[in-house]
Structure 1
């Protein structure tokens, strides 16, 4: 990042990125939402096929469930002045046998160091799914998503809340871990509401 680079210019550069074009069957279409005033940061995995086609983050069944988890309507969710949505991979990586492929490994190391430090007003970060938790928590995360989730209190002390991915494919995990909805979701909603209400 240069001293003269404006935030809109950085977002434009990200959205014009073609770094992984040779590896993306559906072509690049970086999806990101952020502003210098964002207070809540949502770090996800990578856009799915529907998000790729619309260019709107979490504009799919996963997004519907995530907004339900957060107790949030679409208007609030897509208010970049308050909420930044920065995935580990900005482009749809394509589909594999077990669902969408992992985020491209080049993406976060290229853009996160330039983008995330600019979000100086972020008070709470939601790390959604194992790839986001690896990127945000690093060596502090557990050996599994479930272990990471059980240690949520430790991470919240640093302004981070891990969440499972809201994909319908995760229904089995949610059934095996009913404590998530009973114990953690009320905390998530409280923390998110408090973050967004801060003036």
Structure 2
């Protein structure tokens, strides 16, 4: 098995799609072989690109609240891995950011996922992560999130925690009423195992 340290060095030096990135490459991720929770997201936004810290924005605040985690635990790679489908900010489209670059996942994802030794819970955020991690979960994000009991307790689809999804949250009050408390409990259990 290849060394995780060497692999992460290679990922952070990646320039595979540099010509397509409006602000240049800056891979943003966190992981350890000991991570117990994997957050499989989309791609960093502009603010995260600037800070280099995953979910260092309003989406991250909401996500941490959903998970019941403070910043210290959330940013502890020994507990939480954050691997978006694209590691670099892809740029902006008319109604939000562009999709993750298609070169990233085929180049790195399988090799990184093979490094986990203690993974207990995978949280799949957004349609691109869903297509990769849960290809049979339904045709829509809502269907994938609503069928959470089918893959419980190891893999859960979540809507993106972006403020852009406030309307989805309003239309689907069951998410915060039913799923968020269950996620908090499962996150706490996953982090407590073997602590």
Common fold by TM > 0.5: yes
SS at structure 1 position matched to 2:188: helix
Is 1:179 matched with 2:195? no
What is the Cα-based RMSD across aligned positions, in Å? Answer: 0.8
User: Which of 92, 102, 107 pairs up with 1:110?
Assistant: 107
Large movers: runs of 4+ above 4 Å = none
In structure 2, stretches of 5+ residues that fail to align are none
Residue 39 of structure 2: SS of its match in structure 1? strand
Shift of residue 120 of structure 1? 2.2
Question: 1:165 and 2:166 equivalent?
Answer: no
2-structure distance, mates of 1:109, 1:192? 28
Q: How does 1:62-73 map to 2 (within 5 A)?
A: 62-73=59-70
* Correspondence for 1:133 among 130, 139, 143: 130
- Number of residue pairs matched by the alignment: 194
1:76-101, Cα deviation, whole Å (9 max, x unpaired): 00000111100000000000101000
1:6-155 aligned within 5 A: 6-138=3-135, 140-155=136-151
Give ranges in structure 1 of 5+ residues lacking alignment. Answer: none
Q: C-alpha displacement at 1:121, in angstroms? A: 1.1
Q: Using the alignment, how far apart are the partners of 1:178 and 1:151 within structure 2?
A: 15
- How far residue 190 of structure 1 moved from its aligned partner, in angstroms, is 0.6
The Cα of 1:13 is off from its aligned counterpart by 0.5
